[in-house]
């Protein structure tokens, strides 16, 4: 371990600032994850993101976050590298179930 790392790692741990934020899929993450992983997003803003998603459906663009009260474009831009929009991992209940041709019809 070099001299810089020896001092930097404990400093990051003491500061309470997350050293490494992970990517967050805003279409599937819960409020706790959003608040924990994104800069400048606390529990109230994270809950507002989840509520917006529940009311209006999946986000189609990261810039839609700026429509939420308390979240501006600067905050979106600050977190852009850690934001994901993957909609393919939406809950199974949201996807239509196709009927199988091989399954017998119910009587």
Q: What tokens were used for 56?
A: 């209006």
**pLDDT on residue 100:** 45
Q: What is the CATH number of the domain that holds 55?
A: 1.10.150.310
Count the Cβ atoms, other than its own, within 10 Å of residue 27: 17
DSSP state of 99: P
Are 24 and 83 a contacting pair, CB within 8 Å?
yes
Domain enclosing residue 63, as ranges: 24-85
Count the Cβ atoms, other than its own, within 10 Å of residue 6: 9
Q: How far apart are CA 26 and CA 57, in angstroms?
A: 11
Determine, yes or no, domain membership for 18: no
Determine, yes or no, domain membership for 63: yes
10-50 pLDDT tens trace: 544 444 444 455 799 999 999 999 999 999 999 999 999 99
Determine, yes or no, domain membership for 56: yes
**pLDDT on residue 22:** 74
pTM: 0.63
The number of distinct structural domains making up the chain is 1
């Amino acid at each position: 371990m070099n001299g810089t790392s020896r001092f930097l790692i404990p400093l990051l741990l003491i500061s309470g600032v997350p050293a490494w934020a992970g990517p967050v899929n805003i279409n599937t993450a819960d409020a706790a994850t959003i608040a924990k992983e994104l800069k400048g997003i606390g529990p109230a803003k994270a809950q507002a993101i989840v509520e917006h998603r529940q009311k209006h459906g999946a986000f189609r663009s990261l810039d839609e976050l700026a429509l939420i009260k308390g979240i501006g474009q600067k905050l979106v831009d600050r977190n852009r590298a850690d934001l994901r929009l993957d909609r393919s991992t939406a809950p199974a209940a949201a996807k239509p179930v196709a009927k199988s041709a091989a399954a017998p019809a119910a009587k």
